Structure 1
């Protein structure tokens, strides 16, 4: 986090990331990073998810942005950049746990679903299979039980499913401005 992050309007900071670094390719997927995140938010919205889950789906991969937290280069070269944790920690300056915990747990949710849901692994894109290996692979039975008992696990699984679906270059994708009112309503007091 930089000083500029805390001084600027948080939604302006996020909008700038979506417009700038978000226009970059997304690990070989057919959409950009921003399109992917915007589509995830739109899918959550279309599903009638509560505002905090729409926000979590929209912001789930913010940890890949170098300007925000840690960057994508590590993932591309086979090292886990822990984008879920660093992204959630960075977002915590503006949003409550109802938004940040599904962000923090969305990678664990992929590992969980690979362990407990037959056929889930086969639905993953090539890039997602690569990152699964980097992120530790499917959970063990014990890890899956522990994950399922965590507060926020159900929300993280929902975000994960929208994450998996949000890779369609033909899907209508709203811009960041569409989500500003929703995000505004979720900001911590004083932000």
Structure 2
């Protein structure tokens, strides 16, 4: 599925109310909280948009509430990038593509990071390749999008607060439209 603006907005508004894989908030609440964290930290429009849309692949794939417990990795980062490639360029898509890898990286290089992950995030880590070993971590650290992906990952981790009030979806879709691009420059 490749999303256009109408499809993206409908997906977020309709499917976004499903639970966020093993957490106590919805997909949309998680997306809005992630975007709010990025905006709070002064991130550019592209990175705020990446924070908003980093898990859209779960919605596209139709992630079920029990998928993690059943050992299913929907590879949402890849699905999300594929679905969004007509709307955004590398500045949005690369952090989305790398946010799972950034979790694996942080587990390998930052003491205490793994222990601080939510139970659902630890469960998904096992499905996503586990803690990154040193040689792979060194390669990841040299990726030109690593810093953005790590920032996104930290906002992702923070954005799991039950009942938190955030700006609404329209606010962040306005920012996303500013970060949009033409087809040229999209992550292939």
Runs of 4+ aligned residues of structure 1 deviating over 6 Å after TM superposition are none
Q: CA deviation at 1:25?
A: 1.0
Q: Secondary structure at the match of 2:125?
A: helix
Match of 2:84 among 80, 83, 91: 91
Match of 1:118 among 108, 111, 116: 111
Contact 2:50 2:92 in 1 (8 A): yes
- Equivalent residue number for residue 160 of structure 1: 153
TM-score (norm 1): 0.90
Q: CA deviation at 1:76?
A: 4.4
- Equivalent residue number for residue 124 of structure 2: 131
Are 1:77 and 2:63 an aligned pair?
no
Q: For structure 2, list consecutive stretches of 5 or more residues without a partner in the other structure.
A: 184-188
Deviations 1:130-183 (A, max 9, x none): 000111110010110111111201100000000000000132122210112211
Q: Give distance in 1, aligned partners of 2:53 and 2:7.
A: 12
Q: Give distance in 2, aligned partners of 1:183 and 1:27.
A: 24
Contact 2:77 2:97 in 1 (8 A): yes
TM-score (norm 2): 0.91
Contact 1:51 1:182 in 2 (8 A): yes
Please, what is the CA RMSD of the aligned residues? Answer: 1.4
Q: For structure 1, list consecutive stretches of 5 or more residues without a partner in the other structure.
A: none
Are 1:187 and 2:176 an aligned pair?
no
Match of 1:54 among 48, 52, 56: 48
How many residue pairs match? The answer is 181
Q: Give distance in 2, aligned partners of 1:165 and 1:75.
A: 20
Q: Give distance in 1, aligned partners of 2:69 and 2:83.
A: 21
